[in-house]
Structure 1
Amino acid sequence: MGTLFYGAGTDPIHIEDRALAHLKVVIATKLRRHESFTLSWKHPEGEGSGRSTIWLEPSIPLRFTFDEPETPPLNAKWIETLMQTASSSGGIQLVDEVLDPDED
């Protein structure tokens, strides 16, 4: 389970390592372009029901930590889907991994 730390003194956000690796690519791309946006996710099991949203902008400290020492292979289709949500008015929605049917 990976962790996203955002801002000073906030609670850590726990996201599965593979999903966090893909989110990192999308978030870094948006912030590198000096774009602000929201990130929304459903709470993982054990952390209560519901969902959360944070506002991300380049001036707020951000740190990603991963349990796994190696970066997993990245799925370009999933990154593309996350980038499309990032460019929408609703911001990034942490959606399930999108599999490419041609890779089966």
Structure 2
Amino acid sequence: MAELQYGNSGQPIFIEDRALAHLKIVIATKLRRQESFTLSWNHPDEGLGSKSTIWIHPSIPLRFSFDEPEPPPLNARWIEELMKDAGSTGGICLIDEVPEVAEPKR
């Protein structure tokens, strides 16, 4: 399980390594552009409807920590969906992986 350390709270946000690898791409892209947005995720172990949201801003310290030393292969379609969410008024809601569309055989 990977960790997202945000701000000075000392309270890590636990996210699956593969999901955080994809989020990292989106977050880094948005912050490089000096764009702020929200990031929301569910807490399935804490009961129905339990959710958290944070405001991601370039001035707030951020650290990604992964269990796996090598990054996983990236799913471009999932990154596209997360980027689209990041640009919306609702911000990113961490979703399950979006399957990549297989290229049609010729």
What's the % identity of the aligned pairs? 68
Aligned length: 101
Over aligned residue pairs, what C-alpha RMSD do you find? 1.1
Deviation at residue 44 of structure 1 after TM alignment:
4.5
**Paired residue for 1:21?**
21
**Is it true that 1:38 corresponds to 2:38 in the alignment?**
yes
Q: Would you identify which runs of 4 or more consecutive aligned residues in structure 1 move more than 4 Å?
A: none
Aligned in 2, Cα 1:44/1:67: closer, same or farther, shift over 3 Å? farther
**Paired residue for 2:52?**
52
**Paired residue for 2:91?**
91
For 1:88 and 1:76, locate their aligned partners in 2 and report how far apart those are by CA, in whole Å.
19
Larger radius of gyration: 2
**Could you tell me which amino acid in structure 1 is paired with residue 42 of structure 2?**
K
**Paired residue for 2:71?**
71
Give the secondary-structure state (helix, strand or coil) at the position aligned to 1:53.
Answer: strand
Runs of 5+ consecutive residues of structure 1 not aligned to the other structure? none
**Could you tell me which amino acid in structure 2 is paired with residue 7 of structure 1?**
G
For 2:28 and 2:84, locate their aligned partners in 1 and report how far apart those are by CA, in whole Å.
15
Runs of 5+ consecutive residues of structure 2 not aligned to the other structure? none
Deviation at residue 22 of structure 1 after TM alignment:
0.1
